[in-house]
């Protein structure tokens, strides 16, 4: 089965853009790997970023090794695959494994409570660790979260009397600092294609290694991509061109909020991967397309909806391997239409630098959190909120009122994204009861509650995961975002071996660093700090319900 793209009510607008792209010879030029398609400023970067167009062929050479590796790992009694990787180094495997229904633990967080769930109690349970293989995945080999996870796991394996070399597999680019370290440590290394950027790497070693180890059929993904690939050079019947023309045409006429719907289909959670691809590729130079995951399309002139799976209106229906390639192609096309370089991420570094500076300046002392402007039960409020708010509800109301006509609200939660598991594990409860208990304990429920109170789109991101995704758009895209950051007290912190910070301290520094970047742009931004996480989540949700 190949892929079907339907443009729904937007077909006419897309047609005009498509005709222009065809007249300019773009489909053939893109599939031939022409790096000049995004203008002279983008050419140098593009010339080393188009390898994703051929991964359906070039990644095939990985398959025998992956089969052998997966067998060896299983024969060694390992049944738990943990993936330490941020953004493009984990989002695709998460979707691949969810779709294949094989378990994969993704560590794309600095939340100590969430990392503790993977490690097991204490400094890691020997029982859990014996059965665990950690895939340390980083293209640059320098990402601070992934480096921290590697250090934590190395120490945990050693403490448990296990040889880290038997429990760690590294995926990185040739010559990266992580490559060198892995060789010194005798880790198994799978090198990735350096001509593929992180968010375009779903079908490279970054997508395939952890997924194959977790038990997914990755050869099938390459077959699915190979089926659609010949269509991408065509002027007609080209799903990537259709979708790219749609994304570009909508953005040009001011419809720059893309509501991504995930209807029940054979694919699970693809919008979470598309979100990074589109937000980080297009959100720059004051332009961009904002993907909104999990929302219903509002009747607003700047929003439109695309569904994964067959549905009324605009949709993309087809197997996962083909979806990856078609969305990548469409994003590259949309980048040309909008007039940005879809392969760089110029504003991501800023928050990272702020975080490093905050940690350095604070030394052994406390991080500069400032003083709360009010305390409402288990929730402290930080930020410049005018008009002397008296409680949390007033603060949320002010944030919603601050939304400009074309704006959006971004909720950014630096918390344990699995915390709601604890509340939902209620013995013999029915599916409905469990789902209800989950929603009542999950801070992500806030997105829907605030969405009901505004016609502006509301996004939700787990920090620091989103910093490697929508974080680029927030800082580099149209400056009309309003930001609600949520942090929480840490009761069970984890040392990062060889570093002067703990995970909890790093997480808070990341939140403060990003807040600094957002407020320096004059954007309205508030931080809620939950002094008791469970009670705090309940309190925030109940305040939002009463607005």
Ligand X SMILES: O=P(O)(O)OC[C@H]1O[C@H](O)[C@H](O)[C@@H](O)[C@@H]1O
Binding site for ligand X (CB under 6 A): 86-89, 138-140, 143, 146, 198-199, 280, 345, 348, 468
CA distance 359 to 105: 28
Q: Is the CB of residue 290 less than 8 Å from the CB of residue 469?
A: no
**Least distance in angstroms from the C-beta of 350 to ligand X:** 11
Which of 143, 211 has the CB closer to ligand X? 143
**Least distance in angstroms from the C-beta of 148 to ligand X:** 12
Which of 328, 451 has the CB closer to ligand X? 328
Which of 47, 140 has the CB closer to ligand X? 140
Distance set, CA 275 to CA 54, 96, 224, 272, 466 (Å): 22, 15, 21, 5, 9
**Least distance in angstroms from the C-beta of 355 to ligand X:** 12
Which of 86, 245 has the CB closer to ligand X? 86
**Least distance in angstroms from the C-beta of 147 to ligand X:** 9
Q: List, in order, residues 6 or more apart from 139 with CB less than 8 Å away.
A: 88, 89, 172, 173, 176, 192, 197, 198, 201, 206
* Helix (H/G/I), strand (E/B), else coil: 213: helix
Q: Which residue has the tokens 């895209």?
A: 477
Q: Is the CB of residue 198 less than 8 Å from the CB of residue 139?
A: yes
**Least distance in angstroms from the C-beta of 475 to ligand X:** 11
Q: Is the CB of residue 496 less than 8 Å from the CB of residue 503?
A: yes
Which of 179, 447 has the CB closer to ligand X? 179
Which of 150, 261 has the CB closer to ligand X? 150
**Least distance in angstroms from the C-beta of 226 to ligand X:** 25
CA distance 483 to 501: 26
Q: How many CA atoms lie within 13 A of 458 on its CB side?
A: 20
Q: Is the CB of residue 547 less than 8 Å from the CB of residue 396?
A: yes
**Least distance in angstroms from the C-beta of 251 to ligand X:** 20
**Least distance in angstroms from the C-beta of 393 to ligand X:** 35
Q: Is the CB of residue 228 less than 8 Å from the CB of residue 219?
A: no
CA distance 357 to 351: 10
Which of 378, 464 has the CB closer to ligand X? 464
**Least distance in angstroms from the C-beta of 507 to ligand X:** 16
**Least distance in angstroms from the C-beta of 78 to ligand X:** 23
Q: Which of 88, 80, 66 is nearest to 118 (CA)?
A: 80
Q: Which residue has the tokens 């594990």?
A: 425
**Least distance in angstroms from the C-beta of 93 to ligand X:** 12
Q: Is the CB of residue 335 less than 8 Å from the CB of residue 38?
A: yes
CA distance 306 to 316: 7
Give bridge partners of residue 418 from the DSSP assignment.
none
Which of 127, 353 has the CB closer to ligand X? 353
Which of 193, 442 has the CB closer to ligand X? 193
* Helix (H/G/I), strand (E/B), else coil: 470: helix
Q: Is the CB of residue 392 less than 8 Å from the CB of residue 382?
A: no
Which of 172, 305 has the CB closer to ligand X? 172
Which of 138, 487 has the CB closer to ligand X? 138
Indicate the DSSP class of residue 430: -
User: CA angle 2-307-21, nearest 5°?
Assistant: 65
Q: Is the CB of residue 478 less than 8 Å from the CB of residue 256?
A: yes
């Amino acid at each position: 089965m190949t892929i079907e793209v339907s443009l729904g009510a937007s077909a006419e607008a897309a047609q005009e853009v498509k005709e222009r792209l065809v007249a300019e010879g773009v489909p053939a030029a893109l599939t031939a790997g022409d790096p000049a398609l995004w203008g002279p400023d983008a050419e140098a970067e593009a010339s080393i970023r188009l390898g994703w167009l051929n991964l359906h062929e070039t990644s095939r050479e990985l398959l025998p090794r992956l089969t052998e590796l997966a067998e060896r790992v299983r024969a060694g009694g390992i049944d738990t695959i943990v993936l330490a990787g941020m953004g493009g180094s984990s989002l695709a495997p998460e979707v691949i494994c969810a779709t294949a229904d094989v378990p994969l633990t993704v560590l794309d967080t600095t939340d100590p409570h969430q990392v503790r769930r993977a490690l097991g109690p204490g400094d890691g349970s020997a029982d859990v660790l014996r059965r665990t293989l950690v895939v340390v995945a980083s293209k640059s080999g320098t990402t601070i979260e992934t480096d921290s996870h590697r250090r934590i796991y190395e120490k945990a394996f050693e403490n448990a009397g296990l040889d880290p070399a038997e429990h760690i597999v590294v995926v990185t680019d040739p010559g990266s600092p992580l490559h060198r370290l892995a060789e010194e440590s005798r880790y198994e290394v799978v090198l990735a294609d350096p001509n593929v950027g992180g968010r375009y790497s779903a079908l490279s070693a970054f997508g395939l290694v952890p997924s194959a180890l977790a038990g997914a059929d990755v050869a099938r993904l390459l077959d699915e991509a190979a089926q659609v690939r010949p269509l991408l050079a065509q002027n007609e019947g080209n799903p990537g061109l259709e979708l790219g023309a749609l994304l570009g045409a909508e953005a040009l006429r001011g419809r720059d909020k893309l509501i991504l719907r995930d209807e029940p289909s054979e694919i699970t959670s693809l919008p979470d991967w598309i979100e990074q691809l589109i937000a980080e590729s297009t959100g720059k130079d004051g332009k961009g397309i904002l993907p909104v995951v999990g929302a219903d399309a509002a009747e607003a002139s700047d929003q439109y909806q695309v569904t994964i799976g067959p549905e009324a209106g605009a949709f993309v229906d087809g197997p996962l391997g083909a979806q990856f390639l078609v969305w990548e192609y469409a994003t590259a096309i949309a980048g040309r239409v909008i007039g940005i370089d879809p392969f760089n991420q110029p504003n991501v570094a800023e928050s990272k630098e702020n975080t490093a500076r905050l940690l350095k300046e604070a030394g052994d002392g406390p991080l500069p959190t400032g003083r709360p402007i009010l305390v409402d039960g288990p929730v402290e409020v930080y930020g410049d909120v005018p008009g002397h708010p008296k409680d949390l509800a007033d603060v949320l109301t002010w944030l919603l009122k601050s939304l400009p006509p074309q704006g959006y609200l971004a909720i950014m939660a630096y918390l344990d994204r699995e915390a709601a598991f604890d509340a939902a594990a209620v013995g013999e409860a029915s599916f409905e009861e469990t789902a209800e208990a989950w929603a009542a304990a999950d801070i992500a429920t806030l997105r829907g509650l605030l969405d009901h109170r505004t016609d502006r789109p509301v996004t939700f991101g787990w920090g620091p995961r989103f910093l490697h995704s929508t974080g680029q758009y927030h800082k580099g895209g149209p400056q009309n975002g309003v930001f609600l950051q949520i942090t929480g007290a840490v009761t069970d912190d984890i040392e990062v071996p060889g570093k002067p910070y703990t995970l909890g301290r790093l997480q808070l520094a990341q939140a403060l660093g990003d807040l600094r970047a957002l407020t320096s742009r004059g954007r309205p931004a508030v931080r809620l700090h939950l002094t008791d996480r469970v009670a705090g989540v309940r309190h925030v949700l109940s305040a939002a319900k009463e607005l």
